[in-house]
Structure 1
Amino acid sequence: MSQPVPPKTLVKILTTMVCTLPHEYGLFWDDDGTMPWKEFYWALQEDPRLRFVRESTLKEMALLGHPLPFVLDGSRLRRIADAWPIAPYPEVEPPDRLFAGIRPRHLAVVRDEGLRALHRSYIPLWARRDTAERMGRRRTAQPVVLEIRAREAYAAGVLFYRAGEDFFLTKAVDAAYVVLPLTALEEGPEKEVAVRPSHRHRASVPSKDEVRADFGSFRVEAQHLQGLFAHRGLQGPRPKASSGEKSAKKGGWKEGARKERRKREV
């Protein structure tokens, strides 16, 4: 079992991850000085020693007198400008190829519209395919790795920024410069078709209103029982004898028991 991290040590580790070397952990800040908490949380989960860190942990650090250079503002982290100044990312000429890992469900949108920064200021791109795949696993178990013809996109006017070594940012990449993997193009339609039969099967199940009250092969009527009990016939229920009437058999079982005792006494 790992030892708990002292508060002062934890402050140093979190500051390094978020402010000093965020690119080493695949993190970057938006232009407004914020970062989604969930992306920081995903980075924390890759280190077993830091998996205990939650939103409440950041608040506890401040209450214990160990302030961080950022605060939790709703669902985002916000840098404190006085504690850690915000420096803009420098514009650079990218390498010939860059890579990005996305969810498989986003593949159709990227094929039609390219890569777009929707909820962030930039799109993260990496110079190494394996790094892009590892970062993509933070969002999905089986990411689709896209290849970006970055040099051609840059020549066409797309701006790229350096966030760290082998780590680049951009705001958008047109679909013409995105190379989709052949395996993803082949498997995409099959996955969609594989899901549809279950929907058709559920739709074919009749509702309660459609089920007949006499559901089955046939209804059992009185005439179907004729011949099964021929000695009884189709008589109604036998009338119950009144409590005051005696059995037609003389003596009954008590008389038989007396006779057996007399035989034993002889």
Structure 2
Amino acid sequence: MLVTGASRGIGRRAAENLAPHGAKLALTARSADELAKLAAQLRGAGAEVETYPCDLTDPAARERLVADVVARFGALDVLVNCAGVASFGEFATSTPEILRKVTEINFFAPAEMIRLCQPHLMASSLKGPKGWRAAVVNVASICGRWGIPSLSEHCGSKHALVGLTEALRGEFARYDIDVLLVLPGVVRSDDLNRHLLRNDGRIYLDFEGAQRPEEVGVSVARSLIRNRTEAAVGFVSWWVWFGKRAAPRVVRWVMQRKVARYMKRAGAGAQA
């Protein structure tokens, strides 16, 4: 299994939850030091792990990564796309550079990783036992199902990833490759400012009370084990996912209210 974005957050927790199931893990991220620490931890628990520091926005680096993983393990059975970045701020005050960076990491990189891995996943399904299916797991976001104010670039990139996932699910069925989708909500970070390209959004979002990356990591492993086509992770994510279908006007009202609450708090702060 090749897991991207594995040095921290969701990718790291996904690797930790996949290892106990006997997965042979190829872990990639930009931080070689963090990957090494995670690999040592997982090897100490008996897992077979290799690390591949890589910038997934570099086409040549992506090609080397996939080639090195297949050369080391002899095959590739599962690709787990966890790498991602977010920008929390108003679209009107953002820049084309931020939009392109978010889209490059959240959409183009996973899309091209799938393209590179597809031949190897097809070979895995052909060589595997009867009933075996290779898989792609795309960790998107509930933002890919409903646009959230102040996360416009993030939402755009995740909507693109969700659409690609749905299209490839139909295309890859004839190759016996499952294409699964995991939709977390806002995920807690130990260093929020470092991991956001911007952090000046005008909407009330409870980052401190957000869901833990461990919860999403469990869902990634569970989706593979149970072959869950789509999984909304956490109550808030599930509420938005269900609400879009059952009561879209209510969800829209809640989003507008969150913006209004921010403006009220900002006004009170200015008066103080």
**TM-score, with length taken from structure 1:** 0.28
Report 1 or 2 for greater relative contact order, CA contacts < 8 Å, sequence distance ≥ 6.
Answer: 2
Higher radius of gyration, 1 or 2 = 1
Structure ranking higher in helix proportion: 2
**TM-score, with length taken from structure 2:** 0.28
